[in-house]
Amino acid sequence: MEFVLIPAGEFEMGSPSGEEDRDSDEGPVHHVKIEKEFYMGRYEVTQKEWREVMGDNPSYFKGDDQPVETVSWDKVQEFIRKLNDKEGADKYRLPSEAEWGYACRAGTTSRYAFGDSELKLGDYAWYGGNSNSETHPVGRKKPNPYGLYDMHGNVWEWVQDKYHCDYDGAPTDGSAWESGDGAYRVNRGSSWFNFAGSCRSANRADRDPGDRYGSIGFRLLEET
């Protein structure tokens, strides 16, 4: 797996009320400070990488270099435990939603990491407008300013946080928001299935941790 060093820093998490295609769960905008650098997977975890750890490939769209999908949040946690055991370390995990959002934006404040216009989205993402209704090998589109690929589109990505219907009370230190009664977990990044507005940096979705779909995968964070 390839990882990219993401520097410590600060950003505004969420989307302003006037952003096109904005959903109500993207606010209120709140300031988050990431105090410690971390490594983020350059690519979504591939089917080959999953198979080497888990011994199987649950994906609907088959291909070694395509992102693994049809994996639940619960099963991803098992993958992470096995990978850490295999490496003799305790450094791999899902990113928090804040860490994911910070890495996706890469210092930008626009709708997408490349700007506000969705006319350029096809240069950076596999989405409903160009995917032919399937996933594609990772890293075939342009990266964001941090050198991360497919942060927009290809497959939704599980993050660690529980889903809340807005950001009232959300942590401001970059940690995962795991308190609350709800069971659903957050997906970020959108997928091959979705329209352009869904691929915005701030967009988010919620799924039951047991859900498995051909449009949901993940990428890893490695702690420094």
CATH number where 149 lies: 3.90.1580.10
Instruction: Report, as an integer, the average pLDDT of 201-213.
Output: 98
Closest CA to 41 of 139, 136, 127: 139
> Which SS3 state, helix, strand or coil, does residue 128 take?
coil
* 2 domain residue, yes or no: no
Residue 31 lies in a domain: no
Q: Look at residue 78 and tell me if it is in a domain.
A: yes
- Report the DSSP beta bridge partners of residue 58: none
Rounded to two decimals, the pTM is 0.98
DSSP state of 45: P
Share of the chain above pLDDT 70, in %: 100
- How many domains would you assign to the chain? 1
**pLDDT score for 100:** 99
Judge whether 141 lies within some domain: yes
Given pLDDT bands bounded at 50, 70 and 90, which one contains residue 22? very high
Answer whether residue 148 is part of any domain: yes
Q: What percent of the chain has pLDDT over 90?
A: 100
| Confidence bin at 12 (pLDDT 50/70/90) | very high
Query: What range does the domain containing 182 cover?
Result: 37-223
pLDDT in tens, 126-164: 999 999 999 999 999 999 999 999 999 999 999 999 999
pLDDT of the residue at 80: 98
Listed residue (159, 160, 155, 158) closest to 198, CA to CA: 155
Cα–Cα distance list, 37 to 33, 119, 121, 223 (Å): 11, 32, 28, 8
Confidence at residue 202, expressed as pLDDT on a 0 to 100 scale:
98
d(CA 93, CA 179): 18
Please provide the average confidence, as pLDDT, over all residues in the chain: 98
Q: How confident is the model at residue 2 (pLDDT cuts 50, 70, 90)?
A: very high
Residue 131: inside a domain: yes
pLDDT band for 101, please (50, 70, 90 cuts): very high
In a domain, 50, yes or no: yes
Going by pLDDT thresholds of 50, 70 and 90, the confidence category of residue 1 is very high
Q: What is the pLDDT of residue 118?
A: 97
172 pLDDT band (50/70/90 cuts)? very high
The reply to whether 91 falls in a domain is yes
| CA contacts within 13 A on the Cβ side of 117 | 3
Please tell me the distance from the alpha carbon of residue 136 to that of residue 150, in angstroms, as a whole number.
Answer: 10
